[in-house]
Amino acid sequence: MHFEKPDFMDVMDMANFYRISEFDLFRLSYIWWYGRFPDEQKIEGEFIDYLFEGRIPSYVRQFLRENPLLDDNGSTVEEWVPY
């Protein structure tokens, strides 16, 4: 995975790792970054930009860079995602 500038393939790889859709990866990234659920219209617009223009929001890029599979306490992502 690239860490300098995450791209389209990085999003797909991470979504596959978590066994979720790319759209759900956007949601997960948003929750991780902002600590709350995203506005669906906002995230849909950003996801459409990703699909058609290849633009990746900063919160998704940061999620890909930091790849929080385990936090410092050893807890998994499933333990901190408020689903």
Q: What is the pLDDT of residue 6?
A: 65
pLDDT of amino acid 5? 59
* Mean pLDDT per 10-residue section of the chain, whose length is 83 residues: 64 87 95 94 95 93 76 50 51
> Given this model, what pLDDT does residue 17 score?
83
61: its two tokens: 């890029």
Distances (CA, A) of 63 to 1, 30, 31, 57: 12, 9, 10, 10
pTM here is 0.75
Q: What pLDDT shows up at residue 4?
A: 52
Beta bridge pairs of residue 32 = none
Backbone torsions φ then ψ of 77, nearest 5 degrees: -55, -40
- The domain ranges of the chain are 8-80
